Structures are given as structure tokens and as C-alpha cells.
Structure 1
Amino acid sequence: MTQDTPSIHDFDFSLICEYFAALERQGPGSPEVTLKALSFTDGLTLDSRIADIGCGTGGQTRVLAQQAPGQITGLDLFPDFIHRFNARAQAEGLADRVRGVVGSMEALPFADEELDLIWSEGAIYNIGFERGLREWRRFLKPDGYLVVSEACWFTEQRPDEIERFWVDAYPEIDTLANKPRQVQQAGYLPVSMFILPETCWTDHFYTPQVSHQQQFLQHAGNAAAASLVAEQRREAELYDRYKAYYGYAFFIAKKVA
């Protein structure tokens, strides 16, 4: 990428955290698709252990908690995200079974076969889809579920502009058709998959940023903040232009014992 078109990875972590911490969601999604993905799992009880990996401030985690029984641990690398996560859980009366911890998805703080469900919305790319599938598997009980949303190509061929953008941001991005094979090769039974609707990008991710961006610029007040906002606006424009070629999809899988 040139200096005129940086990717999100070119910015300081603290600046990224400051920008996204005030948002309900740190990536495309919605309560409706969270619940739809959850509907493909079964067997959860009050004793179940659930982990939301890369939970952000916990928008989707609180939706899970409203429908899924058991204890839920949210994990994220950014302490400010986890502070907000726990404050919201406390405010909504969920702190007795929902808690956030600071940690890395590369070194999960769980025992082997401790978890009944691993959840990760729009975050597994940080470790890589196939690596995450392989390394997280050992933390699941036999027949435990893994549910993740992942960026995918919808077509075999794409315009050069969006191809360059995504390959720079996430070199592992692959076609929707190849993902179930990767899931199966990592030791899971593919249960279901579905594409997130456009509203998960527009109404629930990009539109809420519009009013937030001006406040962020006034608060941060520096060139790096302005560049970050410009990049987020460019991402929204690219999605509007090329949404026929890519998007997020949910993948629901069960660990093969």
C-alpha cells in the first residue's frame, strides 16, 4: 500500500482501540445474524463453557448471553475493550456469568477440552482462518461447536482495486466455496454456513461510524486520527462499490471426536 492508501494494520494499536472502543460492534454483524448462527448449535446447558474470541466491547457477546445458557468468557487483546465489556455486562445484570479477560487468541487461557462452544465474529483473521481452526480445536470438548464469521470472496475473479485492497489487508482471504473444505480438513464436521446480509455492513457497522468520526477527530485531533478516519471512509466506499465480490460469512462446525 502507498502512504495515500494505508490499511488498518498501518495504524498504532492504541489509536485503533480508541476509535473502535466507542462503537457497539467492531466489525460487520447484527443481533439477528448472531442468533441465526447460534440456532445451528445444540446441547448447551447451564454448565456449558463458552468463549468469545476477539470479543471487542462485547456487542455480540451480550446477544449470545440472552439466548445461550452457561458461563461466557470474552477475550480480547485491548484492555479498553475489556473494560467496556465488563462495565456493560455489569450494567445489564450479566456479570454473574459473562466476564471479559485481556489475552491473545494465540495463547488462549483455557484447558484442553474445557469449552462447549468457541465463538468469534470477524476476528479469526487476526490469527488466520486455518491456523485458528487448528489451534483452537483442542480447547473444545468432543462434539463441541466452533462458530466464526470470516471474510470471503464470492466470485473467482475480482476487479484489481478490491483484489489489491483485500490481499494487502488479509492475504489468507479465500473463496466461499473453499472454506468448508478447510473446516473439514482441520478436524470439524461442517454444520452450516450463510452469508451476512448487506445491512450487517451498512446499518450495523459503517453507518454508526459516521456520527462517531467527527467526535473522534475533535478528540484525537492529529494527522494519524484523520488518516484513520479517511481509511474507514474509504473502506465503506469500497464496500458500496464492490459488495457483489466479497463479504462475511458465518461458518458453524462441530468438533469431530
Structure 2
Amino acid sequence: MEKLGPGSDADTLQVLAMIPRDGFSLVVDAGSGIGRQTLALASRLQTTVHAVDTAAKHLDSLGRYSAQLGIEHLVQTHCMDMADIPAIFRDVDLLWSECAAYHIGFPNALASWLHAIRPGGYAVISELSWLRDEVPEHVHTYFRRGYPDMRTVDENLSIAHAAGYEVIATHILSRAAWIDGYYDKLEPLARSLLDHPEQAVRTFAAQTLEGIHVFDSAADNYGYVFYVLRKPVGETTAVA
């Protein structure tokens, strides 16, 4: 799998262009995974992007991909918990996180990472969000099991304001970014594992296919939303 989650370079760069600033001295990608967006950011910004992830194998893959693209000098990997970012990084100009903040909780991530960002710096964080008030029951049932903490866009905007951010913009991840290179590769792989001798593998494959079916039938009731945020200039940077 070249992608470990929904996303596309086109969406990443479209959101990057929403930030009213051209250059960044310190960029951190929280929960980088194998780094599709890390590479897109590094290539466009031509500045070092610090990729943070707890999986060493993902960071090793990112290192290989960056070398293949000839931009290994623009990617620095850190095998660590994204919750520890404020203890390691100071005065971050741009903190980026796609499909990862939920690992430590969206409200907790926003509150924690604010301390690592310099006044006037930016955070771009994508979070799975409800997009409509009326949601089919089978979709609600699926996410009550899989992600019961999922909130509406307005609720997440309120969380961002309460954490101390200014909201610059939002962007809904395109439907194609879920399918191309992700679900279109994941679905046949999951189907091939339905008869695997290990029960745990069969269960995981069935759950994966259920998630794809829910997405196909959900009529855009949910999606990943990028929240483009700014730390006010009047805020000071401190360790939580």
C-alpha cells in the first residue's frame, strides 16, 4: 500500500495554499505514517519537514521514498509519540497532521500542540467529521463502534476556538482521495483475506470491507475535514 489512509497530494497542496504565508522555518508532520503528505509538503516548500510517527517501519519507508525523489535532505524522521511534540519542538511555524490526531483525541491534540506552535504559526489538522445533520442509521451504528467521538464540523470549530486558535479555513477531503490508491487497492486485498486460516485476519478483512461498504453507501454524510488554524500573535509559547 502506497497510502495508509485517505488522502491525495492535490488535497494537501490545495490546503497548503489556503495559508496566507509562503515560507516556514520549522515544519512538523504529526503522525506522518509512510509520509505521502510529508513528501508533498517538502517538495512544495523546499524546507525540512520533521516527520513524527511511532512506527519505525513507516519512517524507514518514508526515508526510502524521499531518497527516490532526491529530497532526503528535506525530510527528518523522529520515532516518537505525537503527544510528546511540545516537549521536543519549539516555535513550530507549521504543524501538519492528516488522519492522525484522533490517536490522541482531537481536542487533546489541539490543546497540546498549541504549546509547540509559535505565535502567528499555523496548524493544519484533518479530522473525521459528520457533514450532515441527517445520517442513515447504519452509518451511525458503524461509527458508534468504530469512532464514537466523531463530531460535526461546527463542534470541531468550537473545540479549536476553545483551545485558543483562530480558524482560517476548512476543506473537505475529496471523494477521489478515499478511493484512488487506497480503497481501490485495499478492497481486493481484504477480499483475498476472507478465507485466511487465522480468525483475527478474517475478522479484520471483514471489518475493512464493511467500512468500504459504509463509505460507498453513506452519500457524503461524513468525511475528513482539514481545519486550517492559526495561533494568535498575542499567545505565548510554553510547555504544557
The one of 210, 233, 236 aligned to 2:212? 236
The reply to whether residue 49 of structure 1 matches residue 49 of structure 2 is no
TM-score (norm 2): 0.88
CA distance in 2, matches of 1:97, 1:42: 22
Partner of 1:18: none
Give 1:63 deviation, angstroms.
Answer: 0.9
Q: Which range is displaced more, 145-154 or 241-250?
A: 241-250
CA distance in 2, matches of 1:42, 1:221: 53
Q: In 1, are the aligned partners of 2:46 and 2:74 still within 8 Å (CA)? A: no
Partner of 1:153: 130
Partner of 1:255: 231
CA distance in 2, matches of 1:97, 1:110: 22
Relative to structure 1, is the Cα distance of residues 244 and 44 closer, same or farther in structure 2, using a 3 angstrom cutoff?
closer
1:82-231 superposed matches below 5 A: 82-108=59-85, 111=88, 113-213=90-190, 217=193, 222-231=198-207
Q: In 2, are the aligned partners of 1:146 and 1:253 still within 8 Å (CA)? A: yes
Give 1:105 deviation, angstroms.
Answer: 1.4
The total of aligned residue pairs comes to 232
Partner of 1:14: none
- Give ranges in structure 2 of 5+ residues lacking alignment: 234-240
Q: In 2, are the aligned partners of 1:53 and 1:118 still within 8 Å (CA)? A: yes
Partner of 2:50: 73
Q: In 1, are the aligned partners of 2:190 and 2:208 still within 8 Å (CA)? A: no
TM-score (norm 1): 0.83
CA distance in 2, matches of 1:221, 1:203: 29
Q: In 2, are the aligned partners of 1:55 and 1:61 still within 8 Å (CA)? A: yes
2:29 alignment partner, SS class:
strand
Give 1:42 deviation, angstroms.
Answer: 4.0
Give 1:214 deviation, angstroms.
Answer: 6.5
Relative to structure 1, is the Cα distance of residues 199 and 72 closer, same or farther in structure 2, using a 3 angstrom cutoff?
same
2:84 alignment partner, SS class:
coil
Q: In 2, are the aligned partners of 1:50 and 1:71 still within 8 Å (CA)? A: yes
Partner of 1:12: none
1:96 alignment partner, SS class:
helix
1:157 alignment partner, SS class:
coil
Q: In 1, are the aligned partners of 2:86 and 2:116 still within 8 Å (CA)? A: no
Task: Quote the RMSD (CA, aligned, Å).
Answer: 2.1
Give 1:231 deviation, angstroms.
Answer: 1.4
Give 1:239 deviation, angstroms.
Answer: 0.4
Q: Percent identity?
A: 27
